[in-house]
């Protein structure tokens, strides 16, 4: 077992400690408990692309101490940074590759492949006048913007009226959700295998949505006084009908890309918790919950305890 000196935390505002005193964030509490020095690389409002670029820079410039570092990688929101760049994420319905069971392309791909049926319901712009007279390898970008992609893919259990006026405008939203999950499955696992190949010790944990924890086998980490909170977590992430017809509930437990997440060995992931769930059902503006999106000191302490329990159980410490 390596003798670590540094705990390197990378994530979004939850790991940054937004709204919480610096010395009471889960990163600092966990570092203190492990007897390590905290290096917090987290940035509020960021997503996986920011995390990977930041961690990569750290690794590239601190190779001499990597054997002394243990990394906690916190995945952020479902939709965060899928639109950066939005042009390359396969969210747009098409029929060109349907023989291979591929129903979605990025806007960039569609610019060059177009559609077989230009009168299909999912085609927004008509075929350009020059399309049929141009060789496929010479086709150019014509500024096509496919239909049926909302400005933001809603999070689970989210009232969509805040983002889009009519859910019926987006008939492919649940299939697009599958493409988003595949996007993160490949990106998360790819970065994991890179770090593993570089012998960089790390663990991945979900911050706001289930990725490595997509099976929803959540552990009840609450004490006797708050044990009923676990029921709220199970209901929140389920795909059961809710009180509002326009509220989004994805079926995380049966995503097609789950097998990709399964390729990540259990030692390198915490798959029985979503960190936000540990504090979100407590009253806001409290020691537990700052604003329903960020933990207060008490919430941070529970997060630190949960991470510590997992790290010891998995044999890292």
Transcribe the chain into DSSP letters.
-----EEEEE-SHHHHTTTS-GGGSHHHHHHHHHT-EEEE---TT--HHHHHHHHHHHHHH-GGGGGGEEEEEEE--SSTTTTTTGGGS--EE-STTGGGT--EE-HHHHHHH--S-TTSTT--SPPPTTGGGS-GGG--------SS--SSPPPTTEEGGGT-S-GGG-TTHHHHHHHHHHHHHHHHHHHHHHHHHTT--EEEEESSS-STTTT--------GGGTTHHHHHHHHHS-S--S-TTEE---GGG-TTHHHHHTS-GGGEEEEEEGGGGTTTSPBSSSSBSSSSSB-HHHHHHHHHHHHHHHHHTT--
pLDDT at 162: 67
pLDDT at 283: 92
pLDDT at 156: 87
Short-list 42, 44, 30, 39, CA closest to 62: 39
pTM of the model: 0.89
The two three-digit tokens of residue 136, written as one number: 């496929």
pLDDT at 132: 87
* 121-164 pLDDT tens trace: 888 878 888 888 888 777 766 666 677 888 778 888 877 776 67
Give the contacts of 53 (CB within 8 A, at least 6 positions apart): none
Residue with tokens 């994420």: 89
Contact 70, 4 (CB under 8 A): yes
pLDDT mean for each 10 residues of the chain (317 residues): 92 94 96 97 91 94 96 95 70 90 85 88 84 78 72 81 76 92 96 98 97 97 90 88 73 97 98 96 93 94 98 97
CA angle 216, 263, 104 (to 5 degrees): 80
Burial-class residue 8 by CB neighbours within 10 Å (0-12, 13-18, 19+). buried
pLDDT at 242: 65
CA 114/CA 117 separation, integer angstroms: 9
Short-list 178, 155, 154, CA closest to 90: 178
Contact 158, 248 (CB under 8 A): yes
Domains of the chain: 6-82+181-313 (3.40.50.1110), 86-178 (no CATH)
Bridge-based pairing state of the strands 269-274 and 202-206 = parallel
SS (H, E, C) 235-267: HHHCCCCCCCCCEECCCHHHCCCHHHHHCCCHH
């Amino acid at each position: 077992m390596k003798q670590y000196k540094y705990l390197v935390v990378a994530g979004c505002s939850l790991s940054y400690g937004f709204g919480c005193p610096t010395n009471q964030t889960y990163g600092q509490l966990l570092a203190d408990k492990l007897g390590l020095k905290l290096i917090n690389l987290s940035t509020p409002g960021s997503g996986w692309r920011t995390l990977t670029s930041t961690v990569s820079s750290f690794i590239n410039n601190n190779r001499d101490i990597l054997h002394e570092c243990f990394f906690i990688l916190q995945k952020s929101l479902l939709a965060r940074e899928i639109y950066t760049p939005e042009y390359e994420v396969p969210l747009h319905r098409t029929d060109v590759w349907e023989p291979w069971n591929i129903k979605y392309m990025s806007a960039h791909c569609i610019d060059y492949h177009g559609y077989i049926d230009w009168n299909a319901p999912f085609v927004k712009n008509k075929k350009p006048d020059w399309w049929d007279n141009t060789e496929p390898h010479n086709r150019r970008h014509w500024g096509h913007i496919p239909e049926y992609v909302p400005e933001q893919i809603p999070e689970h259990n989210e009232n969509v009226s805040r983002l889009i006026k009519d859910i019926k405008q987006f008939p492919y939203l649940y299939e697009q959700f599958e493409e988003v999950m595949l996007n993160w499955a490949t990106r998360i696992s790819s970065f994991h295998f890179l770090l593993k190949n570089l012998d960089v010790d790390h663990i991945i944990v979900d911050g706001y949505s289930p990725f490595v924890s997509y099976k929803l086998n959540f552990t009840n980490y609450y004490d006797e006084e708050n044990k009923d909170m676990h029921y709220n977590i199970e209901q929140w992430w389920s795909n059961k009908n809710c009180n509002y017809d326009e509220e989004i509930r994805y079926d995380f437990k049966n995503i097609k890309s789950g097998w990709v997440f399964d390729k990540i060995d259990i030692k390198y992931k915490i798959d029985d918790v979503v960190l936000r769930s540990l504090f979100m059902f407590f009253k806001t503006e409290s020691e537990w919950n700052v604003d329903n999106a960020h933990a207060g000191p008490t919430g941070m302490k529970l997060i630190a305890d949960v991470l510590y329990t997992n790290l010891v159980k998995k044999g890292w410490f």
